[in-house]
Structure 1
Amino acid sequence: MFNIAKRKREKHVQRCYEAKDLWTDLEVAEGARRGHADLRLDRARRLLKHSSMDVTEVALACGFTSPAHFSRAYRLRFDRSG
């Protein structure tokens, strides 16, 4: 009987560690995704300031699927008014 309870505890601990590892992997992936988006938005900001490109051209040049998507992301990243 003791061996069954011990084995159940071991399995539970193993599942907890696996779940923690999964969450860590997801957090790392999310951080990388955010970092890539920040790079694209920084490039877009530079293009808007230092080129004659309009917003649509900048959005497409920086890999956004539409000007609306770009505008939302840009506002979330740079709008400090809250």
Structure 2
Amino acid sequence: MVLYTVKHSHSHISHVCTINIIKKCFPDSSTAKNITCDRTKAREIACNVLAPSLTSYIVNEIRNVSFFQFVMMLRIKEISKWFQL
């Protein structure tokens, strides 16, 4: 669940709402009743588990290529500009 939240750039507060919705949608499920992952726990999982793992994955992927380009999109007053770094 936390990976989905991070991957889709959702906030940790929306993660808590998702957990509450799951509990209400599946009241008979023992898994849904026992699931606990509030904002603090979700943040800790994202920062201390997912971030190091994904960082090392990205670093290993970059090491295997001879050339890469980093492009950042900056939006100022509804005008999109691409900058190469």
TM-score bracket relative to the smaller structure:
0.3 to 0.5
More helix per residue: 1
Per the normalisation by structure 1, the TM-score is 0.33
- Higher-Rg structure is 1
Structure showing the higher strand proportion among its residues: 2
